[in-house]
């Protein structure tokens, strides 16, 4: 589905992502974990074309997409839910979803409301009045409306109550099974790994480990080094 080869990027002079290679196949859920500020969001933004890479190569569905703009990537079937500002606050829930389906000839709204029933009841409310969990659901619903083959999710569970986190992870698992491959960046490491197929660990812009999800969960050294404390490796 997507292959990223030796990707480096950053902001101006500041190199943030360093020589990262990852890949994801059809129907997979892959999680990227790592301490705060290690460049996870920057990596996703670079894949989605919001930041130009310094070097490296990205192949999506067999096509070289290095340097493509977000607008084109959406057309090619990539979806993105940013970490912050991931809904249109002054648009209603319905309008947010409509914007998601902007390019669809016949957007299927009832289908997405079946998948996220909470949103149906709040259709007319402004997105900014939603709770944190509802907002994340809306952000995902919006992104799914473009019917992506691959969706990039940046910390969807950040700041949510544990119960909500569980519910959201179930949804993501379902998305992975029935709708789209998922690259998931998460701080809730355990719950993310429990639904993921594989995982990558990133520290200070570099990939330090990759493996099967349960392998990472069981790995003593990794657990101690990277997963024990969130900020263990803050540079």
Choice from 30, 40, 78, 193 touching ligand ATP (CB under 6 A): 40
Closest CB to ligand ATP belongs to which residue? 41
Least distance from C-beta 16 to ligand ATP, angstroms?
4
Residue with smaller CB distance to ligand ATP, 32 or 65: 32
C-beta contacts of 89-92 below 8 A and 24+ residues apart: 89/126, 89/127, 89/128, 90/126, 90/127, 90/128, 91/126, 91/127, 92/123, 92/124, 92/125, 92/126, 92/127
Dihedral pair phi/psi, residue 101, rounded to 5°: -90, 20
Question: Of the ranges 56-64, 138-146, 157-165, 167-175, which one interacts with other proteins (CB under 8 A)?
Answer: 138-146
Q: Within the chain, how many helices (H) and strands (E) appear? A: 10, 10
Q: Which stretch binds ligand ATP (CB under 6 A): 36-44, 61-69, 163-171, 173-181?
A: 36-44
Q: How far is the CB of 188 from ligand ATP (least distance, A)?
A: 12
Of 79, 97, 102, residue with least CA distance to 87: 97
| 86 lines the binding site for Mg ion (CB under 5 A) | no
Please, how many CA atoms are within 13 Å of residue 179, restricted to the half-sphere of its CB?
23
3 Ramachandran zone, left/alpha/beta (phi>0; psi -120 to 50): beta
Question: Whose Cβ is closer to Mg ion: residue 49's or residue 101's?
Answer: 49
Residues of this chain that bind other proteins (CB under 8 A) = 48, 50, 69-71, 74-75, 79-80, 82, 85-91, 95, 98-100, 102-103, 142-143, 145-146
Residues of this chain that bind ligand ATP (CB under 6 A) = 11, 14, 16, 34, 36-42, 83
């Amino acid at each position: 589905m997507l292959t990223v080869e030796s990707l480096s990027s950053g902001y101006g002079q500041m190199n943030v992502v360093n020589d990262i290679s990852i890949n994801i196949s059809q129907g997979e859920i892959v999680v990227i974990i790592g301490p705060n500020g290690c460049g996870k969001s920057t990596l996703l933004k670079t894949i989605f074309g919001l930041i130009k890479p310094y070097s490296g190569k990205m192949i999506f569905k067999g096509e070289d997409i290095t340097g493509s703009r977000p607008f084109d990537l959406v057309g090619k079937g990539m979806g993105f839910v940013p970490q912050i500002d991931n809904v249109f606050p002054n648009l209603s829930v319905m309008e947010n979803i409509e914007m998601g389906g902007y390019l669809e000839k016949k957007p299927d709204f009832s289908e997405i409301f079946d998948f996220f029933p909470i949103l149906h009841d709040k259709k007319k409310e402004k997105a900014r009045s939603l709770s944190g969990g509802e907002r994340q659901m809306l952000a995902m619903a919006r992104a799914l409306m473009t019917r992506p083959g691959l969706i990039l999710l940046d910390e969807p569970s950040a700041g949510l109550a544990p119960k909500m986190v569980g519910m959201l992870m179930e949804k993501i698992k379902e998305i992975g099974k029935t709708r789209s491959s998922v690259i998931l960046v998460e701080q809730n490491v355990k719950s993310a790994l429990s639904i993921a197929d594989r995982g990558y660990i990133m520290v200070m812009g570099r990939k330090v480990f990759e493996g099967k999800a349960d392998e990472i969960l069981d790995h003593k050294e990794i657990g101690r080094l990277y997963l024990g404390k969130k900020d263990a490796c803050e540079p």
